[in-house]
Amino acid sequence: MHNACVLDGKQMNILIADDKPQIRRIVRGMLETHPGWEVCAEAEDGLQAVARAKQCKPDVIVLDLAMPELNGFEAAREISSALPGTPILLNTLYASPQVEREAEKIGVLGVISKAEQYRLIPAIEEAFAAKQFSS
């Protein structure tokens, strides 16, 4: 059972950034089966992620760590600066305590291993809940 994820009747918009089209497709498919969630934009590199985040102002951002142009850490820093308070999740093959520590330092809400994709939806639900309480 999913938590209510519509804030004040508003659809929740998510930005997905990953350099692999098949991963973006899988993540989009997973997320869009959730009532009230919509992928507002996709990006294939860190620079696109920053530009599209500024453009669509998503409620939550899911970033890959290993992307061209800007990696997930660099993109997260720029996005956090432009859109403070927007929850960012790192979805990566390279999840480790070191990556988690670095992500936490720059304000990333959580690190989800691509080997544990089932954790992504609960992490996004938590991000929406956190955003609801901070709004």
Q: What ranges make up the beta strands (E) of the chain?
A: 12-17, 37-43, 60-63, 88-92, 110-113
CATH number of the domain where residue 110 is located: 3.40.50.2300
Residue 126 lies in a domain: yes
pLDDT on residue 2? 36
- Residue 87, Cβ neighbours under 10 Å: how many? 23
Q: How far apart are CA 21 and CA 6, in angstroms?
A: 27
Kindly state whether residue 36 falls inside one of the protein's structural domains. yes
**Is residue 7 in a domain?**
no
Q: Can you give the pLDDT at residue 126? A: 87
Q: Is residue 2 part of a domain?
A: no
How many domains does the chain fold into? 1
Domain ranges, residue 78: 12-134
Query: Phi and psi dihedrals of 55, rounded to 5?
Result: -75, -50
Q: Quick check: is 34 in a domain?
A: yes
Whether 25 maps to a domain, the answer reads yes
Burial of 85 (0-12, 13-18, 19+ CB in 10 A): exposed
Alpha carbons 95 and 25: distance in angstroms, whole number: 21
At residue 6, the pLDDT reads 44
Q: Is residue 26 part of a domain?
A: yes
Measured CA to CA, the distance from residue 17 to residue 52 in angstroms comes to 9
- Residue 10's pLDDT is 67
Q: 23 with 39: CB under 8 angstroms?
A: no
22 is a domain residue: yes
Question: Consecutive 10-residue runs of the chain (135 residues): their mean pLDDT?
Answer: 45 94 93 91 97 95 95 96 93 90 92 90 86 55
